[in-house]
Structure 1
Amino acid sequence: MSEPQGGQATPAIREADVLIVGGGLSGTLLAMQLLRLPGARHIVVFEPRAELGRGEAYSATQLGHTLNGNAARMSVDPDDADDLTRWLQAHIDAGGWPEAAEQDVTVAHLFPPRGLFGVYAQQRLSEALALAQARGSGLRHVRDEAVDLQTDAQGVTLTLRGGERWRGAAAVLATGMFAAAHTAQRQSSGLNAVALGPWNVEQMRRLDKRASVLIIGSGLTMIDALVSLDQAGHRGPIEVFSRHGLLPQVRRQPPAWEDFLSLAPEIRSPLQLLRELRRQCHLAAQAGIDWQAPLDTVRVHIARLWSQASDGQRRQFVRHARPWWESHHHRSPPQGNALLERLLSEGRLSIHAASLQGLETSDDCKQRIRLRYRGQTQTTVVEGDALINSTGIEYDWRRVDKPLPRQLLSDGLIAPGNLGLGIAADGGGAVLDAAALAARRLFAMGPPLRGMWWESTAVTDVALQAKALAARLAALE
């Protein structure tokens, strides 16, 4: 390291047991599980946001921005599926969230606001910390961004944007999800500079109520954008553009269905799964049962099926089946879907299968985007009064325009995950370097491991990973 300029002394390195990079849901659940374990340990979470437990997903403050799963599916405790349901019941009984009555369902079937879910995660972390402090454990939230990470046989050293340095016995990349809007491609296109954020209701309130709005992306983030526009009082036309023009299916509450994959171990490839799933959905329809019932049994098998598939099979799935999987598996909450259906019926909303080719410069206040409609070779320019970026998540760390991913890749401390999805790691979360060697002190969890498990973003998936990784980290001590 070069000598500090101006004769300044090199800042002292602070020390901790576990360094967690990212304080969204992944980092918070890992900290919670570490605090629940016997023994005393000092945990530091590096998160620029003011609060832990929220990240981008649970920072939304509007009541209309709800989870896309009901309470019974969203517990942060992998050993207690009813944890969120009980917490919600107590919260409602105490006078919180009076709007819950509008859903007219049992507490287990409620779709809570994402902001309220963030409060729940924070409370469970606070409870774990209160118990752990009696054993001498501690948790510190450092509001800064990690920009450099170095490892050796004894531990990990982190350097923060503000210059502070930390040393720990182990570090965990719990970075959560990177918005596709923050990738180098989106930055260079200029999309970020002109587009509104899908959750920025205050910005949307400054629009003319009859403004024409263009939305890039048709997934769950687009549903949130529609909710934001509606709550901002927008009444104008909305056009949505995405490569396939597929909309999320609405999440319903189907009855239980037999776990057909447990009875069919011969099903190993994505193609075999697709054929059998279609057959099961046909059987359900014949019996008058919602097709979502068979599909919901697949979740617990996703990691096994993905890990045992060949590279060719995975590539084929990503290339051909991924859009349909995303729209059917990652479904919209009923409230968001009801708004979408209303806007369609009013003729205010239109959906187009088209890919964004770039922005068109203009001297007026209009937003112009160049698109290529599906099945066409020529491009078309579409004009609107405002543009919203709902392009979703970027899982390829090679495209993420942030200093830490760039440094880790450049130094060979991490390698791209399968098919470029996230980063490579072993089955227990130890990061693999460019030579495919497992790190002794550097780990990852949650969305960065999508290449390994495919579904590595849902609350239940992250909660299970957090518990397993906490036990592995404790064993290092």
Structure 2
Amino acid sequence: MTPDRKHPHVAVIGAGFSGLMTAVHLTTLSADLRVTLIERRPVFGRGVAYDTRDPGHLLNVRLDNMSAFPDRPDDLADWVAARDPAPAPHDFIGRGLYGDYLAAIRDRAVAKADGRLTLTPAEALALDRTAEGWIVSTSDGPVAADAVVLALGNLEPATPPGIDPALRTSALYVENPWALNPRSMADARRILVIGTGLTMVDTVLSLRAPGRRFVALSRRGLVPRAHSVEVLAPSDDVFSGGPSGLLAQVRAASARQDWRAVFDRLRRVARDLWRGWTPVERSRFLRHLRPLWDVHRHRLAPTIAAQVEALRATGDLTILAGRLTESHLTDTGAQVCWRPRGGQDAVCEGFDLVVNCTGPLSAVERSTRPLIRNLLAKGLIQPDPLGLGLAVDEAGRPLDVAGRPVPGLYAIGPLTRGAAWEITAVPDLRGAALDLARRVTADMTA
């Protein structure tokens, strides 16, 4: 496994949006680089979010802001324009269609790279430093590389507190909502969904059926807000200061104009604001304001929001605010108890199915992924102090147990949220992928 110094080799672990686009940029920025894209799932490029054919799963960003290339804003619009019928530029297209777009980018990049981009369907299990670079141990054998990019996406779902082990291992509990098969749930009439965010919406719309009732429970009972039907004029407000002052500024700006335009403006400066806050301010934001940020920032397509409201109006979907306290597997189903927000006495009810929609783990030390466990054991990574994935520097490089960036090791995506905060949506990730590819290319060709 002697390295080829004339043609450095970069291993990118993870082939969702971040990994795919980093690999694509690496192969186009330098004709000397070779890239191996390693993905444990059988699909390269789509990731979990865009690997769906459910017509109810729509993007929560308009088509005209979802190009995969920051310097080619019309790339997606041009691609869909060739389809029949062609969506309008301000439409919210299906996530499966967007997955097709990413697959087309992947296939075009593989062909253009002329052998310099290799797709390896395998799970990365371990990572070792050598005198020459790195060895990635995979389920399909070792891969030698001069540099490694961790594009791991979201970690596995987090099990909510209060889920009894017997229920958790039963057929009445779904830990990962992306793995459930709606056809296998035909007998479930009353379903509890833990979480009231975007994943809850996807789950309810996928499982809805005549006579079926849903209860969705979260600490605050907040549901994602809707995008405006019309495209809004952009806001030119200026935001600064800590979380408390920022909240006052947002409220004042929202009194003058549509709050959606305010949040769109705020999102563009969120990274700079986050980086200017002290650890105490960041912690205060996460504790008090994050739920409000999430439901206003990560919005629903208007048609999807209308469907959710219709389900609530008919009583088919009930949203509750409370804390899950305990659960039990019984002879007739699942008995679940929660304490309503602001109340003292627990409420207990029976359900035919419980679906966990609380989202992925962010505390890497709790992950069961072999690669994460391996990197932690070797001290090559450490958890972010606020529990937002990996501890990384402002360039997104993972910090080892001594707090130093590891030469030749890079990271991108949700696990770098501790440094960037806004790094989960395509409008943020596309720029990050290009920036990272430029950084890696410069390091490898210096």
TM-score norm. by structure 1 comes to 0.86
C-alpha change, 1:363 and 1:189, in structure 2 (3 Å) is closer
User: Is 1:78–2:70 an aligned residue pair?
Assistant: yes
Alpha carbons 2:324, 2:338 under 8 Å: kept:
yes
Q: CA deviation at 1:418?
A: 4.2
What CA distance in whole angstroms lies between the structure 1 residues aligned with 2:110 and 2:36?
A: 12
Alpha carbons 2:90, 2:231 under 8 Å: kept:
no
User: Is 1:258–2:225 an aligned residue pair?
Assistant: no
What CA distance in whole angstroms lies between the structure 1 residues aligned with 2:261 and 2:391?
A: 33
User: Is 1:154–2:123 an aligned residue pair?
Assistant: no
Q: CA deviation at 1:201?
A: 6.9
What CA distance in whole angstroms lies between the structure 1 residues aligned with 2:33 and 2:163?
A: 41
Q: Which amino acid aligns with 1:160?
A: T
What CA distance in whole angstroms lies between the structure 1 residues aligned with 2:180 and 2:362?
A: 26
User: Is 1:139–2:120 an aligned residue pair?
Assistant: no
User: Is 1:207–2:199 an aligned residue pair?
Assistant: no
Find the counterpart in structure 2 of residue 130 from structure 1: 111
SS state of the match for residue 299, structure 1? helix
Select the residue among 396, 420, 441 that pairs with 2:387: 420
Alpha carbons 2:110, 2:118 under 8 Å: kept:
no
Q: CA deviation at 1:23?
A: 1.0
Alpha carbons 1:45, 1:142 under 8 Å: kept:
yes
Cα deviations across residues 388-447 of structure 1 (Å, max 9, x unaligned)? 221112222122221111221222111112412011222222211111111111110011
Residue correspondences, number: 438
Q: Which amino acid aligns with 1:335?
A: T
Unpaired segments ≥5 residues, structure 1: 1-11, 101-106, 285-289
C-alpha change, 1:370 and 1:126, in structure 2 (3 Å) is same
User: Is 1:329–2:297 an aligned residue pair?
Assistant: yes
What CA distance in whole angstroms lies between the structure 2 residues aligned with 1:227 and 1:237?
A: 12
What CA distance in whole angstroms lies between the structure 2 residues aligned with 1:207 and 1:82?
A: 42
Q: CA deviation at 1:130?
A: 2.2
SS state of the match for residue 398, structure 2? strand
Find the counterpart in structure 1 of residue 216 from structure 2: 240
User: Is 1:112–2:79 an aligned residue pair?
Assistant: no
C-alpha change, 1:317 and 1:391, in structure 2 (3 Å) is same
Q: CA deviation at 1:185?
A: 9.4
C-alpha change, 1:397 and 1:184, in structure 2 (3 Å) is farther
Q: CA deviation at 1:357?
A: 3.0
Q: CA deviation at 1:384?
A: 1.0
Cα deviations across residues 366-391 of structure 1 (Å, max 9, x unaligned)? 12223232223443332111222211
Select the residue among 151, 156, 162 that pairs with 1:174: 151
SS state of the match for residue 318, structure 2? strand
User: Is 1:228–2:196 an aligned residue pair?
Assistant: no
C-alpha change, 1:185 and 1:51, in structure 2 (3 Å) is farther
Structure 1 stretch displaced more, 320-329 or 291-300: 291-300
Q: CA deviation at 1:258?
A: 3.2
Cα deviations across residues 190-228 of structure 1 (Å, max 9, x unaligned)? 53643245356743464137x111111100001101210
Q: Which amino acid aligns with 1:178?
A: L
Select the residue among 393, 410, 420 that pairs with 1:453: 420
What CA distance in whole angstroms lies between the structure 1 residues aligned with 2:41 and 2:89?
A: 30
Find the counterpart in structure 1 of residue 349 from structure 2: 382
Q: Which amino acid aligns with 1:198?
A: P
Alpha carbons 1:367, 1:387 under 8 Å: kept:
yes
Find the counterpart in structure 1 of residue 407 from structure 2: 440
Find the counterpart in structure 2 of residue 341 from structure 1: 309
C-alpha change, 1:202 and 1:448, in structure 2 (3 Å) is closer
Q: CA deviation at 1:29?
A: 0.9
Structure 1 stretch displaced more, 58-67 or 374-383: 374-383
TM-score norm. by structure 2 comes to 0.91
Cα deviations across residues 331-384 of structure 1 (Å, max 9, x unaligned)? 1122221111111111221111122234302233x1222323222344333211
C-alpha change, 1:434 and 1:190, in structure 2 (3 Å) is farther
User: Is 1:17–2:24 an aligned residue pair?
Assistant: no
